[in-house]
Amino acid sequence: MKESLRQSMALFHTWSGLVFGWLLFAVFATGTAAYFQEEITRWMQPEVHGSVDDVTAAENALDFLGREAPGAKNWFITLPNNRRITTQLFWRSDDPSTGGGYNSADLDPSGAKITTRATSGGYFLYRFHFDLHYMPVILARYLVGIAAMFMLVAILSGVITHKKIFKDFFTLRLGKGQRSWLDAHNVSAVLALPFHLMITFTGLVTLAVLYMPWGIAANYASPSSFYESAFATPPEVERSGNPADLAPVEEMLSTAEAHWNGARPGSISVSNPGDETAVVTITRAADAAIGAKGETLAFKGATGEPIQESLPKGPALQTQSVMIGLHAGRFADWGLRWLYFLSGIGGTIMVGSGLVMWTAKRRSRLDNPARPHFGFRLVERLNLVAITGFSAGIANYFLANRLLPLTMEGRAEWEVNCLFLTLAAVALLSVLRPIRKCSIEMLSVTALLYLAVPVVNAVTTNRGLGASLLNGDYIFAGFDLAMLLLASLFAYATHKLRSRQPAVVKTRPRMAAEART
């Protein structure tokens, strides 16, 4: 009975991992990169230098908005932090003279608007891992949610399947073909097993309201009424028509910081700016605590007097905040952030090695390995596209940031397009070329692309690897070194695949008999 259960779980593990494995590889890869999304964005905006404190950043932002959008209904300011040096601005206006609708701008530490190099930066990688691209967001989130559920099932069934899970933790045999892929899959899975369970489950929790909306539907007239009740959203107030300047923002920031026991503010919103009815709402930074989400303190804009704080979160919202904090890891310092990142790399390897192992394990069972059936050939090529195509696409995303014209219209979107054009090119080549030759070629190209990133960076900017190391610019130096490490790993994979002899075609006895007749 026990053996039957284990065999059933093994079958379940195999197919639940394969069905959404290609999507999961991309989700894991981009989600892992998102732990350093702020640093990636800084690398993709090489013209931006310096640092700025919260008060100066807020004052610069309010001065800019006062000049550019004095009649806007709302201003929203995201303050810089110890990882992000830009100040991000959004405003909403019904006045066509100020642009109308929603507008945005980024300010550098000096308070000047950043007009160079439009880029989606690390933010695109973060959004892609749950919103995907080129499709409706809701559809994408349902697809990612289904994939995450399959991932959770694959992890749990994998735990049941492995009888020697402790031994697998210490076993990694290189150069043994299928055995090596199995060891790589087991080690990467077991080494960070608690992380894989946590990140998959909390990923589902972050979008639980989308996947299971029935609780809100049963108790509230509309989703908006739930959010107003849960987060104490103040009602909109019409302008009085009596102009009034904002009170000094420094005092409001100090009051908010003291109220949160020293936790720094993360954003500021201003409704009805320039009017005596203006309200300034300061939101606590998401990285201030593991469960920080949405704590606010509102002030009268004209006087700076505190008027409202957010309601205390109940057990359900507090639990959700902690789950989201665990998943996003914004609270993590450098050491823990690297642990998140390395565990995410382990998850990416786990998914990728599982996909490769599926074909490696079944190749020897084919009646005619020289001419495999359509399903096997399809999985082989999807593996190649998902692993090397997406990896090469990310490298091209970084290269496009340096090589596309700075004044190009739609430049940020074309950076993203370069990623998916690379993916499409690999998909086309996987159909036209023999799978072994195409695998070697694509691994080689991927290694060269990652190698080219620090080279092109040194040629096109004054912040190359050598200059960054000399100037103590460790974010740029770390990024270039990471690209060189990835180039080395793909080069090593190319060498191992090229040096390995093609599998000998073994004809099954039945086929041999048919051949003799």
Q: What pLDDT shows up at residue 193?
A: 86
Q: What pLDDT shows up at residue 172?
A: 55
Q: What pLDDT shows up at residue 176?
A: 57
- Among 119, 185, 177, 146, which Cα is nearest to 353's? 185
Which two structure tokens, joined as six digits, stand for 457? 């960076």
Q: What pLDDT shows up at residue 180?
A: 61
Which two structure tokens, joined as six digits, stand for 140? 């994408």
Q: Which residues of the chain have pLDDT under 70?
A: 1-3, 5-8, 12, 94-100, 162-186, 231-235, 292-293, 311, 367-370, 501-517
Across the chain, how many H-helices and E-strands are there? Answer: 22, 7
Structure confidence by residue, pLDDT tens digits, 247-276:
999 999 999 999 988 888 999 999 999 999
CA distance 153 to 155: 5
- Among 1, 123, 108, 119, which Cα is nearest to 64's? 108
Q: What pLDDT shows up at residue 375?
A: 85
Q: What pLDDT shows up at residue 517?
A: 36
The region, left, alpha or beta by phi > 0 then psi within -120 to 50, assigned to residue 312 is beta
Domain limits, the chain: 2-44+124-206+328-499, 50-118+233-310
Q: Which amino acid is at 296?
A: T
Tell me the whole-structure pTM to 2 decimals. 0.87
- Among 252, 193, 260, which Cα is nearest to 58's? 252
- Among 207, 274, 288, which Cα is nearest to 246's? 274
- Characterize the bridge pairing of strands 296-300 and 87-93: unpaired
Contact in structure between 93 and 71 (CB atoms under 8 Å): yes
In 310-358, which ranges are E strands?
none
